Amino acid sequence: MAINNYITLGHSGLRVSPLCLGTMTFGNEWGWGSSEEDSHKILHHFFEKGGNFIDTANVYTRGHSEDIIGNFLQKDNFRRERAVIATKFFGTLYPGDPNAGGANRKSIMAACEASLRRLKTDYIDLYWMHCWDYHTPIEETMSALNDLVREGKVRYIGFSDTPAWKVAQAQMIAQFRGWAPLIALQIEYSLLERTVEGDLTPMAQELGLGVTPWSPLKYGILSGKYTRENKGKVDLARGEWIASQLEKERTYEIVDVLIKVAKEANSTPPRVALSWLQGKAGVTSSIIGARSIEHLDDNLGALELKLSDEHIKALDEVSKPELNFPFDFINNSGPFRSAETTINGEVVGASPMAPKTDAERFDKAPASVR
């Protein structure tokens, strides 16, 4: 697969590249990131290679990320329609103002107008709710988003970082009221974060939502630069986000296998981690971050990597998550449900609960009708 082998996002006709360029690192306001000049070089390279999907948020580098993208869209007669620009609302840029963030109608409308100004565009291709606002009724959020779509300021909508049951509720409300539906789900998903496989990714597949994983390299931990050998010697620029992960033995167990697979596949750890993730059910376009063109090219190379079944199995086993009830109960319910059958290719074994012979069954017809 190549970056210009586009995929429709969820139950929509929106074509996006199989990797999405995340722009949380555009700007130096947080103490790390890329200058505007370097960010524009990365954007130019991404589009030149065939990518078209860009992800940002109103709060990234305090609004500078959106501004950097907006300035790029104005450069060199760049055709705005070429880009699929996704941004988010929810985060506040004005501490002390209770309506400056969240997902109520007032905050959504204000955030959208501000993002449009910074992005220097008339419309947003995909507008994400950055996180569930449990203080706001979900029908109010969906109604406001539907209005933005009807007004032409937003083309499509999606949710990020929201429980599966709340996403399902929102999608059903939209469906039955004839409102603009959700087409995508943005969630953290990687070899080091697989608990989404319990509810979120199956829900997304069932409801027609394309999954766009964020932090597919887990804050860079899966890049291969954090190993047992240099434990405690690396510069933890992002503080607790990374430090807490590097205190866990499980992290190094996964990284060990990742590096081993990368060597055997004559590839790099980032490419292996991304290739593994892109092969997961429901995943449409993983969101990659890059602070240099070299990092970007390394990530894009994941699309050309085909992992062997043995390598996928090794990565699956070492990163297998513990999922909440009732995942295991349902997953092991085959013999309980339909013992000694094959359904949709699933071979089901014997059940210790089912009768073994006709004589053991209590639902035999009365003698008068035999």
pLDDT at 254: 97
pLDDT in tens, 316-355: 999 999 999 999 999 899 998 999 999 899 999 998 888 8
Q: Where is average pLDDT lowest: 16-30, 207-221, 306-320, 337-351?
A: 337-351
The catalytic residues are: 60
Model confidence at 149: pLDDT above 70: yes
Quickly count: other Cβ atoms within 10 Å of residue 157's Cβ: 24
Q: What is the pLDDT of residue 247?
A: 87
Q: Is the pLDDT of residue 356 over 90?
A: no
Q: How far apart are CA 101 and CA 357, in angstroms?
A: 64
Q: How confident is the model at residue 159 (pLDDT cuts 50, 70, 90)?
A: very high
Domains of the chain: 7-320 (3.20.20.100)
pLDDT of residue 369 exceeding 60 = no
Residue 364: band (very low, low, confident or very high) from pLDDT cuts 50, 70, 90: low
Tokens at residue 186, please? 């943005």
The pLDDT, as a whole number, for residue 162 is 98
Say how far residue 89 (Cα) sits from the centre of its chain.
Answer: 16
The answer to whether residues 192 and 251 touch, using CB atoms and an 8 Å cutoff, is yes
- Distance, CA of 370 to CA of 364 (rounded, Å): 9
- When the pLDDT of each residue in the chain is averaged and rounded to a whole number, the result is 94
According to the 3-state scheme, what is the secondary structure of the chain? CCCCCCEECCCCCCEECCEEEECCCECCCCCCCECHHHHHHHHHHHHHHCCCEEECCCCHHHHHHHHHHHHHHCHHHCCHHHCEEEEEECCCCCCCCCCCCCCCHHHHHHHHHHHHHHHCCCCEEEEEECCCCCCCCHHHHHHHHHHHHHCCCEEEEEEECCCHHHHHHHHHHHHHHCCCCEEEEEEECECCECHHHCCHHHHHHHHCCEEEEECCCCCCHHHCCCCCCCCCCCCCCCCHHHHCHHHCHHHHHHHHHHHHHHHHCCCCHHHHHHHHHHCCCCECCEEEECCCHHHHHHHHHHHHCCCCHHHHHHHHHHCCCCCCCCHHHHHCCHHHHHCCCEECCEECCCCCCCCCCHHHCCCCCCHHHC
Q: How far apart are CA 209 and CA 195, in angstroms?
A: 18
